[in-house]
Structure 1
Amino acid sequence: MENLTYTFPARKAINKRVHVGVVGSGDLEIIMEPSNCLESEVIVRTGINGFKETWEAVLHRFFTKHGIAAHVKINDFGATPGVVTIRLEQALEVSSHDESIKK
């Protein structure tokens, strides 16, 4: 098990706490919470060792693009960089969804 921590500068806060994904073969879960700081802290717990630079590149790309301020926990079970990106985008979308909108 490897624990990785990253910090990225931020420009805007997310609206609410979200939880997406599951910890299972080839997947991961993301817990994203609003932060009052102008930065994001990301903690990755992964069972796959040796991919620190890959994690950093994927996360840097996402946080540079979106600039969100959040506390993020990622629990990984061998997800590919594409799955990581999709789950991050999904978490961001859910965090900005207005639950007061009726269908």
Structure 2
Amino acid sequence: METLNYRYEQGTRSLTAQPQIVGVVGSGNLEVLIEAADLNGACSIEIQTAAVGFGAIWQAVMQDFQQRWQLANARISINDMGATPAVVSLRMDQAVQTMLGDAA
């Protein structure tokens, strides 16, 4: 297992809803927990992954996600069992959309 941590400052979209979990950890998939947290305007992402050595790809996917959503005061935890970057993006977008509801 590998643990990756990313922190993005100065987001513009804060979350206020109850924490949400999307996805299921299993072969080729992942689980995303998203929650509001007082992080001084930052978005914190922690990834636990079975796919060791893909840090550069994870970083690119996380940067793309944060550029799209500009989250602030958000904590995201990901448990991964080898999902593709497309599935990661889909699940993360799904988590934000679930948390924001109609405001997305």
- Answer whether TM exceeds 0.5 for this pair: yes
- 1:14 and 1:68 map into 2 onto residues whose CA distance is 8
Aligned residues: 98
CA displacement at 1:48 relative to structure 2: 0.8
- 1:79 and 1:97 map into 2 onto residues whose CA distance is 25
**Unaligned 5+ runs, structure 1:** 99-103
Decide whether the 8 Å contact of 1:13 with 1:35 is kept in 2. no
Q: Which residue of 2 aligns with 1:4?
A: 4
Q: Mark the structure with the bigger radius of gyration.
A: 1
- 1:12 and 1:48 map into 2 onto residues whose CA distance is 30
- 2:15 and 2:59 map into 1 onto residues whose CA distance is 21
Q: Find runs of 4+ consecutive structure 1 residues off by over 2 angstroms.
A: none
**Unaligned 5+ runs, structure 2:** none
Match of 2:36 among 29, 34, 37: 34
Amino acid at match of 1:32: I
Give yes or no for the alignment of 1:81 onto 2:85. yes
- 1:30 and 1:93 map into 2 onto residues whose CA distance is 12
Amino acid at match of 1:74: I
CA displacement at 1:64 relative to structure 2: 1.2
RMSD: 1.0
Give yes or no for the alignment of 1:71 onto 2:75. yes
Amino acid at match of 2:86: G
CA displacement at 1:15 relative to structure 2: 2.6
TM-score (ref. length: structure 1) = 0.90
Q: Which residue of 2 aligns with 1:44?
A: 47
Decide whether the 8 Å contact of 1:23 with 1:77 is kept in 2. yes
